[in-house]
Amino acid sequence: MGRTVAILIARLIFAGVFAMAAAFKFAGMADTAAYIAAAGFPFPLLLAWLAAFFEVGLVLAFLTGAFFSEASLLAGVYVIFLAFAFHGPSHWEGNQAEFGFFVDHFTFLAGLLYAAMHGPGGKFTVNHGLIWKP
């Protein structure tokens, strides 16, 4: 019972983090695009929309358990990309807090990798995926 509860809480946390990120993007798409443009990426508005919909997809995967391991791995790649693109070494000199933000992404990656290898648990899960099988 404790294992099931812990896994469900972890899935809700993952879903909650990406739901908040998507909600902030949808609520301020122009601001998100400006942030992306400031980092030097082309087509910032398109990338902002793609990121928001990608995050919605992650939320659905974490809530349902469908393609959970695949979503966890993709989320891990995404999180590390964000760490380097928006909080990497070039940002540390101007703001020491950026180093903390950078490191936090690796903590999140550790949880996502663990989740990817152990799957969504056996309860409240749509058992679809290519990596994890119940």
pLDDT tens for 19-65 read: 999 999 999 999 999 999 999 999 999 999 999 999 999 999 999 99
The 10s digit of each residue's pLDDT in 62-98 is 999 989 999 999 999 999 999 999 998 888 887 889 8
Q: Are 121 and 3 in contact (CB under 8 A)?
A: yes
pTM summary value: 0.90
Q: Are 58 and 67 in contact (CB under 8 A)?
A: no
The CA distance from 16 to 9, in Å, is 10
> 128 CB contacts (<8 Å, ≥6 apart)?
66, 67
What Rg, from alpha-carbon coordinates, does the chain have?
Answer: 16
pLDDT (0 to 100) of residue 94 = 76
- For the record, the structure tokens of 52 come out as 């928001």
